[in-house]
Amino acid sequence: MSFEANSSMRRAGFADRILRRGPLEAIATTIIAAGVVMLMQPFFLTLYSLSFATTLFGTVMFTIVSKVRE
């Protein structure tokens, strides 16, 4: 009589590992930080112009991701 330890457990695929709260929160936090850095840099007007949209996108992403499963 053989018994497999993982027979009742579902294998976690690549999407299941990536679409979790931890990695997505880290990505959202990185986007927010990039937006703040873009806001503070004095060299490129284009980066400064896009900084608010980047920070806003990261904030909205973080808010949505906080509702995702653990």
Domain spans in the chain, listed from the N-terminal domain onward: 14-65
Please state the three-class secondary structure of the chain as a single string: CCCCCCCCCCCCCHHHHHCCHHHHHHHHHHHHHHHHHHHHCCCCHHHHHHHHHHHHHHHHHHHHHCCCCC
Structure tokens at 46: 């284009």
Please determine, for residue 29, whether its predicted confidence score (pLDDT) is greater than 60: yes
Residue 14 to residue 67: CA distance in whole angstroms: 20
Whether the model pTM is above 0.85:
no
Please determine, for residue 25, whether its predicted confidence score (pLDDT) is greater than 80: yes
* pLDDT value of position 57: 97
Residue 65 to residue 70: CA distance in whole angstroms: 10
Tens of pLDDT, residues 39-68: 999 999 999 999 999 999 999 999 999 987
* pLDDT value of position 68: 78
Q: Give the dihedral sign, CA 21/23/29/32.
A: negative
